[in-house]
Amino acid sequence: MTEQTLLKGPLTIAYEKEGAKWYATALEFDLVGIGSTRKKAGEEVKQLFREYLYGCLDEEGPVRFVFPAEASVWNSEDKEWYHVTVSLSLPKSSRKEIPRSLNLSELKSQFRNRIESIGLVPAGV
């Protein structure tokens, strides 16, 4: 059975166009996607974020999860906000043990081997 759990802390993506290229920055993590369109840059940064999160889960010991972008990037007027979700595969008997939201450290210690996917849901949905 798959259960979806919300990770605490949002993901904010700021967009900026320079010349023919679009840049999408995940502000809380200073990850940058680049594309020929706004949509392509956004999809790239979302994929980079998923890879980053999986990488954090593979690290031993405590995780320093957030590495914010420079202050000037935060001033962008073109932003989108997301909630980060994790789909966990758990036996039926474990369903009542699943919190509706988790910190990354809790996800790493308790549910790391049961992650099926990491998703982004637009805030306000």
Neighbour tally for 20: CB within 10 Å: 6
Q: Which pLDDT score is estimated for 1?
A: 64
| In the chain, where the domains are located | 2-122
- What pLDDT was estimated at residue 87? 85
Question: Could you report the per-residue pLDDT of 56-83, keeping only the tens digit for each?
Answer: 877 776 666 677 888 889 999 999 999 9
Could you read off the pLDDT of 83-116 as tens digits, one per residue? 998 888 876 666 566 667 877 767 766 677 778 8
* pLDDT tens digit sequence for 8-55: 788 999 999 999 999 999 999 999 999 999 999 999 999 999 998 888
| Contact in structure between 115 and 88 (CB atoms under 8 Å) | yes
Cα gap 73→28, rounded to integer Å: 11
> How far is 124 from 81, CA to CA, in rounded Å?
9
